[in-house]
Amino acid sequence: MDHVLANKAVFKTATDTAGNAAIISGAVLAGQQDRHSVADEVGVGLLAAGVITKIFSAATTPAADTRAWDNLPQYLSFASTQLRAGAHTVTVERERQKPMINR
């Protein structure tokens, strides 16, 4: 899982950097050329691509999913056996402590 999270972090950083580069170069191209030139169109395209890339970067969350149910037990154990008919005593112990259940 650490490998996946590391790759997400690299993706987030790379897309953020690419978005910054596209926005800056698009603004430079669109702002320094004459109106209605090919450079204006390329600049606007770079600006749009930069914004979209920044949105992808912002949507990427390189963090572990830490949602949990705190009321679930840490371990579950099951056992089965066949018993003769009648009353029986069952004792459940936990980690060599005093019996928790005795019925």
Which residues neighbour 23 within 8 Å (Cβ) at sequence distance 6 or greater? Answer: 46, 47, 50, 51, 54
Task: Tell me whether strands 101-102 and 91-92 are parallel, antiparallel or unpaired.
Answer: antiparallel
Each residue of 1-46: pLDDT tens digit?
A: 778 888 888 999 999 999 999 999 998 888 886 777 788 888 889 9
Rounded Cα–Cα distance for residues 50 and 33 (Å): 19
pTM for the whole thing? Answer: 0.54
- Cα dihedral: 7, 12, 14, 15 (round 10): 130
Each residue of 49-90: pLDDT tens digit?
A: 999 999 999 998 887 777 777 777 778 888 888 989 999 888
